[in-house]
């Protein structure tokens, strides 16, 4: 079970930069907020845009697991490369699961070392050098015939994914002719939309993006699970962990509800203590991908312009990813002596699955203290030392501890932050499920790319960004 230690967010540790612990006592506002929020979320759960909360539970759980396993089983041993075509919520969860639950050398291993499972590439951009090199590699190693493309797009109209898909579709048709459809699995809307129509026309196998599950809350749906299962990750255990955490996070009693506690701490520190920058800093390379996943969840859900009694308020917090111990040599100078505007969230791991002893025998005095220890001991000592150093300079921080990094604990972690995000949205009075501010850029892109009907957007861009002498 994940644990949350938030002592370093309180005033007895970090002085005026922390919260008054009395506010977390029975009867005080933290408790009241928790009881209120859990009640609100209990009433809305499973409806509207909160259907993501039902992903770990039947009937969605069984139906998705059966579909994902069947789709993966049919392709077992037939592919050397699996390429996910997606962006944002259709890519971040896939990358994060792979980073957490497969070795960092996965793509470098031989087919046997991978147990016959494919390499995984998540193509979440349209950089031509990057896309080109990845597709070239797949064509040369394994070949297109043994490369499976998993296109993930609810609508099919996301420009980046659509462009990638058009390229891949033509490439496959050239190389494989009518057999090309065997090399595509689409995850899309089960009933409507552009990608749905394409899949029906081309005869692709599909898995659903379930109704009412937005991109950034979709990792525990087929969106995240199909590529994971293809690479041998245990999807059922992910959902088990999420279900366990969901129960903890439904408790109206604040000291038992880690999502409500996280939301309360971060919203209060963010809005009342001048700490709107929220760092997630795993002391564990495998969890670094989840820092990226968190960035989207926290930024896009909470970063909203809201009207508060006629006044325009820019709500939200800036999520920042960092990696321990690496970033001690990059960011800690700033975190301790720069502006006191951050809350640092550590992720700590008990058992890394393996450890590496530091052998004795070099006999150099200045570093002899390391002999006979292990890398895991050193890494966790560095984490504790950094925690101490931050407290010493009154920088609030908290620790989420993983007993080990496995499917169950990763599932817990996903659910913890998803529910915390929902609570934080309610506390900030923002809609955690929309992203209205990305529309302007989409329309401008359409204009610049010459899409019919968007000429006025092109004219607006050209008028706003006319050449100036402020260039060198």
In the region spanning residues 243 to 262, those forming contacts with a copy of itself, defined by CB under 8 A, are 255-258, 261
State yes or no: is 442 an active-site residue. Answer: yes
Please, which residue, 70 or 448, has the CB nearer to a copy of itself? Answer: 448
State yes or no: is 300 an active-site residue. Answer: yes
Do residues 67 and 222 make contact, with C-beta atoms less than 8 angstroms apart? Answer: yes
Residue 314: its H or E element: strand 311-314
Least Å distance, CB 65 to a copy of itself, is: 27
Least Å distance, CB 22 to a copy of itself, is: 13
Catalytic residue among 191, 311, 329, 365: 329
Region from 36-44, 70-78, 175-183, 375-383 binding a copy of itself, contact rule CB under 8 A: 375-383
With CB under 8 A as the contact rule, the residue among 338, 350, 429, 455 that binds a copy of itself is 338
Residues 352-371 close enough to bind a copy of itself by CB under 8 A: 352-359, 361-362, 364, 366-367, 369-371
With CB under 8 A as the contact rule, the residue among 11, 35, 109, 236 that binds a copy of itself is 109
Region from 36-44, 56-64, 118-126, 230-238 binding a copy of itself, contact rule CB under 8 A: 118-126
Distances 25 to 22, 31, 103, 253 between C-alpha atoms, Å = 5, 7, 43, 11
DSSP letter string over 112-125?
TTTTTPPEEEEE-S
Do residues 349 and 405 make contact, with C-beta atoms less than 8 angstroms apart? Answer: yes
Q: Provide the CA 465 distance to its chain's centre, in angstroms.
A: 33
Please, which residue, 74 or 179, has the CB nearer to a copy of itself? Answer: 179
Region from 72-80, 226-234, 387-395, 414-422 binding a copy of itself, contact rule CB under 8 A: 387-395
**Residue labelled with tokens 């907020």:** 33
Contacts of residue 364, defined as CB under 8 A and 6 or more positions apart, other chains included, come to none
Please, which residue, 48 or 436, has the CB nearer to a copy of itself? Answer: 436
Residues 54-93 close enough to bind a copy of itself by CB under 8 A: 87-89, 91-92
DSSP letter string over 394-443?
T--EEEEEEEE-SHHHHHHHHHHHHHHHHHHHHHHT--TT--GGGHHHHH
With CB under 8 A as the contact rule, the residue among 11, 176, 237, 378 that binds a copy of itself is 378
Contacts of residue 101, defined as CB under 8 A and 6 or more positions apart, other chains included, come to 228, 233, 286, 405, 406, 407, 410
Environment class of 72 (CB within 10 Å of its CB; exposed 0-12, middle 13-18, buried 19+): buried
Least Å distance, CB 66 to a copy of itself, is: 30
Catalytic residue among 300, 348, 387, 407: 300
Please tell me whether residue 272 binds a copy of itself under the rule CB under 8 A. no
Please tell me whether residue 177 binds a copy of itself under the rule CB under 8 A. no
Rounded distance, CA 410 to CA 408, Å?
5
Rounded distance, CA 312 to CA 439, Å?
19
Least Å distance, CB 62 to a copy of itself, is: 30
Residues designated catalytic? 300, 329, 442
């Amino acid at each position: 079970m994940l644990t949350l230690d938030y002592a370093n967010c309180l005033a007895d540790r970090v002085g005026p930069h922390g919260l008054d612990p009395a506010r977390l006592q029975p009867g005080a506002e933290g408790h009241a907020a928790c009881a209120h929020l859990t009640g609100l979320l209990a009433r809305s759960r499973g409806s509207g845009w909160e259907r993501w909360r039902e992903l770990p539970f039947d009937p969605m759980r069984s139906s998705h697991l059966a579909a994902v396993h069947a789709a993966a089983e049919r392709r077992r041993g037939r592919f050397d490369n699996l390429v996910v075509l997606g962006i944002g919520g259709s890519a971040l969860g896939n990358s994060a699961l792979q980073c957490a639950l497969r070795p960092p050398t996965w793509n470098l291993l031989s087919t046997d070392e991978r147990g016959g499972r494919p390499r995984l590439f998540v193509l979440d951009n349209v950089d031509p050098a990057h896309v080109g090199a990845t597709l070239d590699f797949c064509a040369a190693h394994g070949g297109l015939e043994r490369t499976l493309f998993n296109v993930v797009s609810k609508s099919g109209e996301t420009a980046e994914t659509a462009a990638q898909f058009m390229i891949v579709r033509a490439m496959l048709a050239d190389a494989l002719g009518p057999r090309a459809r065997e090399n595509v699995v689409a995850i899309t809307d089960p009933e409507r939309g552009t990608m749905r129509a394409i899949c029906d026309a081309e005869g692709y196998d599909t898995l659903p993006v379930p109704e009412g599950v937005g991109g950034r809350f979709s990792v525990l749906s087929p969106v995240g699970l199909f590529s994971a299962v293809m690479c041998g990750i245990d999807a059922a255990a992910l959902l088990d962990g999420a279900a366990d955490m969901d129960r903890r996070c439904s408790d109206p009693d604040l000291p038992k509800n880690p999502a409500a506690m996280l939301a309360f701490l971060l919203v209060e520190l963010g809005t009342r203590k001048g700490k709107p920058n929220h760092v997630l800093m795993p002391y564990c390379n495998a969890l670094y991908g989840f820092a990226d996943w968190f960035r989207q969840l926290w930024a896009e859900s909470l970063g909203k312009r809201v009207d508060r009694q006629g006044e325009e308020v820019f709500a939200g917090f800036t999520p920042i990813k960092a990696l321990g111990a690496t970033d001690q040599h990059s960011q800690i100078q700033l975190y301790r002596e720069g502006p006191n505007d951050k809350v640092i969230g550590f992720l700590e791991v008990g058992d890394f699955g393996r450890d590496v002893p530091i052998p004795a025998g070099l006999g150099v005095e200045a570093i002899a203290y390391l002999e006979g220890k292990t890398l895991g001991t050193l890494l966790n000592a560095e984490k504790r030392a950094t925690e101490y150093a931050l407290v010493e300079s009154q920088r609030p921080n908290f620790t989420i501890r993983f007993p080990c990094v496995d499917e169950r604990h990763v599932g817990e972690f996903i659910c913890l932050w998803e529910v915390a995000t929902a609570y934080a949205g309610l506390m900030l009075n923002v809609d955690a499920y929309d992203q209205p501010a990305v529309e302007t850029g989409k329309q401008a892109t359409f204009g610049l790319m010459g899409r019919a009907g968007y000429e006025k957007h092109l004219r607006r861009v050209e008028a706003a960004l006319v050449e100036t002498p402020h260039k060198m």
